[in-house]
Structure 1
Amino acid sequence: MPPLLFNQFDLAPWSPIAQVAAEDINLAEISPLILAAVLLSLVVIYLASKLGGEICARVNLPPVLGELFGGVVVGVSVLHLLIFSEGAAVEPSVLTTFIQQTAGMDPTISGTVASTASEVISVLSEIGVMILLFEIGLESDLEGLLKVGPQAALVALVGVVAPFSAGTIGLITLFHVDLVPAIFAGAALTATSIGITAKVLAEIQKLTSPEGQIIIGAAVLDDILGIIVLAVVASLAKTGTVEVSNVLYLIGSSVVFLVGSIVLGRFLSPFFLGMVSRLTTRGGLLIPSLVFAFVLGYIAVILGLEAILGAFTAGLVLGETDKRRALEEQIVPIADMLVPVFFVCVGAKTDISVLNPMVPENREGLIIASFLIVVAIVGKVVSGATVYSPPGINRWAIGIGMIPRGEVGLIFAAVGSASGALSKSLEAGVIVMVILTTFVAPPLLRVVFKTDEEAVDAPSLASEVAELPPDG
């Protein structure tokens, strides 16, 4: 969530540093403890990501699914090793308690240490998804994306309008939910997690396929549309009215940013390559490339967009240069180090206790969630059916690739909860929808691509059998 959007919604995030100042805590005294908490958190994250990824890889499931499951196990749902502040004071995690017992940490500062460490891990997670989208941009074909642009735009538009309208109307008519909460929950259905889908496409080597290009293009546009929808519904929840000027600003800044970045990047790329060729120290290619990605990410944030859009655009531009292969090889170790932090954190922040039907408070939420899940899946699958070319394209794969809500859906739930727009049952329903769509999409995506490949291979196998000479 860009800081600008927090300001727009009057949802300023809780600051651990502000608490340090308020409690008159010696920052120099707690800094080593914060570092210790961050280091132990990273140990847990890396172990969870590798164990989960390896298990899923061995049963022919996407490794990213294992990283998400690993995050669930070490997060708020099971082991409580990783606890995140999410804009409020955070209870000490098991790791913080361990540090308290082994390092003699004063219990009165454990909350501050836990909150600050969780903020650091969250920042690393955001950088991780930026690196992932930068890598995806490098591997994508800009010309291919431009060719599928109209189809990607249609998929994104239908993928926003269909679930939003069906979800909002259904909640009002079937569950008698008030207008503003229904609109907010319907808006949560519009999100698409580009990070999760892109990782799966890269793992199954379908990123540069026509389906992959349409999915990525539509997911980028979906991200922009999601930000605009979030701004509209948050304004509606806060004031009861929609600020048209704010909506027009977001639309205009999105178009200017994407088009301007690509055009300007193509114009400046010869100067970039000339500068890189004259550098003689280590990281002569990687560091300037990351600087470019982070600058575009910063510009995106101050415009009220997502930093990942800036990183993705930077990858697209640099992917058109003759340094693409060298840069891809150099970015892989960085991605291996930071990207798992993002996926494990998504899982760790997911509270699956809302899935327990034995808790009376959860039952209404689960009923609403069942409806939201159906709308969430059907609404995105329908968007894939709108693709009109090329012949033989896998429309199922495109629709399923748009299903996962991931961290984007959690942002909608968090903003809706903080603004008071969502009731407990409706918030639980949204969270269950986010969980199910996030975890069901990766294996389904692999299945539909595999089924498509088998269908293509079957005619060629039949023709080979027909050409065999008769016996004798």
Structure 2
Amino acid sequence: MFTSLLVIFTSSLVVIALFHRLRLPPVLGYLCVGLMVGPMAFDWVKDSDALPLIAEMGVVFLLFSLGLEFSLSKMIALRRVVFGLGTLQVLISGAALGALLMLAGVPTAAAFLLGGGLALSSTAIVSKELGSLGEIFSSHGQNAIGVLLFQDVVAVLLLTLVPVFAGTSDQAWYWALPLTLGKTLLLFAGLSLLSRWVVPHFFHEVAASRSAELFVLLALVIVLLTAGLTHLIGLSPALGAFLAGMLLGESHYRHQIEADIRPFRDILLGVFFVSIGMLIDLRLFASHGVLILGLTLGLLLIKAGVVALLVKWRGSDNETAWRSGLALAQGGEFCFALMTQMQQNNLMPADLGGLLLAATFCSMLVTPSLLRMAPRIAARLHRKPNEEARLEEISALNAQAKKHVVICGYGRVGQSIGRFLRNAQQTYVALDSDPVRVQEAAVAESTVHYGDSQRADLLSAVGLERASLLVIAVDNTGTALQILLAARRIHPSVPILVRTRDDDQGPELKAAGANEVVPELMESSLMLASHALILLGFPQQEVQERVDRIRSDRYQLLHGFYPGAEDEES
């Protein structure tokens, strides 16, 4: 086992470093490592019997972290998504996929059992990618998380039904269903009592000891103990970990718990993705590549279409519907376990199982890229309701605007710039993609509009062709670059000011057409240093000259940083 883990970690170190350079998601790297070290490629991992258990712990830690982000009140607010949208998605997707499997010659019971398994999505990949993209609390993010939680319960039910349909269990399906749901409610009630009356006392005592080691140990014990208890009663350990995290999400120690378990979560989750990659037979891609591609596309299209239609039917806009569908389009890790059990119980042919495993793997492989391309895909598939009318309304509101400032991104920085401009009697128009922020700002300001600043038609609607300045104040450099390129196509000569976190992307933004790039970290350091010199008695004129000189040298004096043991980025 030691040798297997050494091979996995070493290979992951090299591949993830390469993927980081290529700006590719780490999840893809781990899946590729699994393909590479698996028995169908180099076969470097021999004794891998214990890997599934280690890999499952990665999903457990991930769901616990996710639960910390979702308090009980948020989950109550999501109940219509979890039980409404989740139920409809599993039933309709499972029925559609089961019917297709029946047409392919799979027996009826096995077809619909397998269809239910294929209807499940990847909790690990979707949760991790939505978190890294900062979309967990977006409309489509909450739709995806709510459905995934319901799917975790369904996954347990499907696994318990395999021996029932195979004839090796004495329990009928109509007993298995209420028993699983009853266990889930019992688990939730028990964890609620523990999180309210018992666990806070432990955290209080450990916090009073001021021992970081004890705090980490307590966090690990809670995660593993919850997962173990859930497994003992026949439910998914990941589901129990999520419920525990959710109930602890109201605690004062939530942020410290999350920081303590993050290293364990990320490493173990990497092992999980590697173990998924090891299940795939690469020889199938050589002999049945076109068929696997067709199955993958069919799975993605059916599931994405079903979810999009359901979300749209429930009253959401088209962009949210399609982005929810794209997030849940892939197959899931539970499907691998279900197909393995079905093959062991002779419920499905081995050759069909291999093809479906490969197609499910491919759907998971493309998911990180799909989530990153989702805004553009959703915009091409369908625009939001009344979007043309909304663009015309924005254009009409700003038709008379001339020599104004356009602000892309109305967060803390954008709002501060707006206040300065308003104080100087300078008109401006702001765009932001956060509907809640725009709704709150619109109460006091009529010049703030909702929309994606990367869209050329929206920039034209706010009168960029007649503007005297464009300020890009978004906090993502990739998004800022796309806005910059779109703006230059519309107005090649407008001055553009771009805000960044540091000076690393300055040359790239300058090359794309930015007139000025203002790095936050450099500017804040410069302001603190200038105030320090003034307090030390230096003449204000001399301090200002020094500041101007450093700015003209592109902050060269401030470059270089000796990282300490507790430093991450600052």
Normalised by the length of structure 1, the TM-score is 0.75
Instruction: Report the CA distance between 1:268 and its aligned residue.
Output: 4.3
Q: Which residue number in structure 2 is paired with residue 395 of structure 1?
A: 321
Indicate if the aligned counterparts of 1:369 and 1:433 stay in contact, CA closer than 8 A. Answer: yes
Q: Which residue number in structure 2 is paired with residue 379 of structure 1?
A: 303
Instruction: Report the CA distance between 1:316 and its aligned residue.
Output: 1.8
Indicate if the aligned counterparts of 1:133 and 1:308 stay in contact, CA closer than 8 A. Answer: yes
> Which stretch has the larger CA shift, 411-420 or 266-275?
266-275
Asked if 1:456 corresponds to 2:462, the answer is no
Counterpart Cα distance in 1 of 2:212 and 2:104:
61
Indicate if the aligned counterparts of 2:34 and 2:273 stay in contact, CA closer than 8 A. Answer: yes
Q: Which residue number in structure 1 is paired with residue 6 of structure 2?
A: 43
Instruction: Report the CA distance between 1:312 and its aligned residue.
Output: 1.7
SS, match of residue 452 in structure 2: helix
Residue type matched to 2:310 in 1?
T
Asked if 1:164 corresponds to 2:113, the answer is no
Residue type matched to 2:241 in 1?
A
Instruction: Report the CA distance between 1:224 and its aligned residue.
Output: 0.6
Counterpart Cα distance in 1 of 2:95 and 2:137:
32
Q: Which residue number in structure 2 is paired with residue 208 of structure 1?
A: 137
Indicate if the aligned counterparts of 1:48 and 1:344 stay in contact, CA closer than 8 A. Answer: no
Indicate if the aligned counterparts of 2:91 and 2:116 stay in contact, CA closer than 8 A. Answer: no
The residue correspondences of 1:209-288 to structure 2 (distance < 5 A) are 209-238=138-167, 242-258=172-188, 260-262=190-192, 264-268=194-198, 270-288=200-218
Q: Which residue number in structure 2 is paired with residue 421 of structure 1?
A: 347
Counterpart Cα distance in 1 of 2:24 and 2:320:
20
Change (3 A) 1:293 1:469: closer
Counterpart Cα distance in 1 of 2:295 and 2:271:
32
Normalised by the length of structure 2, the TM-score is 0.63
Change (3 A) 1:351 1:155: farther
Asked if 1:67 corresponds to 2:66, the answer is no
The one of 224, 229, 233 equivalent to 1:299 is: 229
* Cα shift readout 1:208-239 (whole Å, capped 9, x = no counterpart): 32322221221011111122133224311225
The one of 341, 356, 377 equivalent to 2:286 is: 356
The one of 43, 55, 72 equivalent to 2:18 is: 55
Residue type matched to 1:40 in 2?
T
Counterpart Cα distance in 1 of 2:49 and 2:212:
31
* Cα shift readout 1:105-149 (whole Å, capped 9, x = no counterpart): xxxxxxxxx3xxx23333222222222222222234543333222
Indicate if the aligned counterparts of 1:141 and 1:208 stay in contact, CA closer than 8 A. Answer: no
Instruction: Report the CA distance between 1:260 and its aligned residue.
Output: 4.4
The alignment yields a C-alpha RMSD, in angstroms, of 3.0
SS, match of residue 320 in structure 1: coil
Residue type matched to 1:232 in 2?
L
Indicate if the aligned counterparts of 2:70 and 2:249 stay in contact, CA closer than 8 A. Answer: yes
Instruction: Report the CA distance between 1:185 and its aligned residue.
Output: 2.8
* Cα shift readout 1:335-381 (whole Å, capped 9, x = no counterpart): 24322111111112222322332xxxx69xx7588457514541344
Change (3 A) 1:46 1:248: same
Q: Structure 2 regions of 5+ residues with no counterpart?
A: 380-432, 434-449, 470-492, 494-570
Counterpart Cα distance in 1 of 2:345 and 2:51:
25
> Which stretch has the larger CA shift, 269-278 or 242-251?
269-278
Greater helix fraction, Structure 1 or Structure 2 = 1
Equivalent pairs, count: 394
The one of 108, 111, 136 equivalent to 1:179 is: 108
The one of 222, 243, 264 equivalent to 1:334 is: 264
Q: Which has the larger radius of gyration?
A: 2
Change (3 A) 1:367 1:461: closer
Counterpart Cα distance in 2 of 1:440 and 1:196:
10
SS, match of residue 386 in structure 1: helix
Q: Which residue number in structure 2 is paired with residue 89 of structure 1?
A: none
Counterpart Cα distance in 1 of 2:86 and 2:201:
35
Asked if 1:407 corresponds to 2:328, the answer is no
Counterpart Cα distance in 2 of 1:345 and 1:228:
23
Residue type matched to 1:319 in 2?
G
Indicate if the aligned counterparts of 1:133 and 1:312 stay in contact, CA closer than 8 A. Answer: yes
Instruction: Report the CA distance between 1:188 and its aligned residue.
Output: 2.5
Asked if 1:468 corresponds to 2:467, the answer is yes
Taking only the aligned residue pairs, the percentage that are identical comes to 24
Q: Which residue number in structure 1 is paired with residue 253 of structure 2?
A: 323
Instruction: Report the CA distance between 1:63 and its aligned residue.
Output: 1.5
* Cα shift readout 1:191-212 (whole Å, capped 9, x = no counterpart): 2221111111122121232322
Instruction: Report the CA distance between 1:151 and its aligned residue.
Output: 1.9
Greater strand fraction, Structure 1 or Structure 2 = 2
Instruction: Report the CA distance between 1:328 and its aligned residue.
Output: 2.2
Q: Which residue number in structure 2 is paired with residue 434 of structure 1?
A: 360
Counterpart Cα distance in 1 of 2:201 and 2:141:
31
Residue type matched to 1:137 in 2?
G
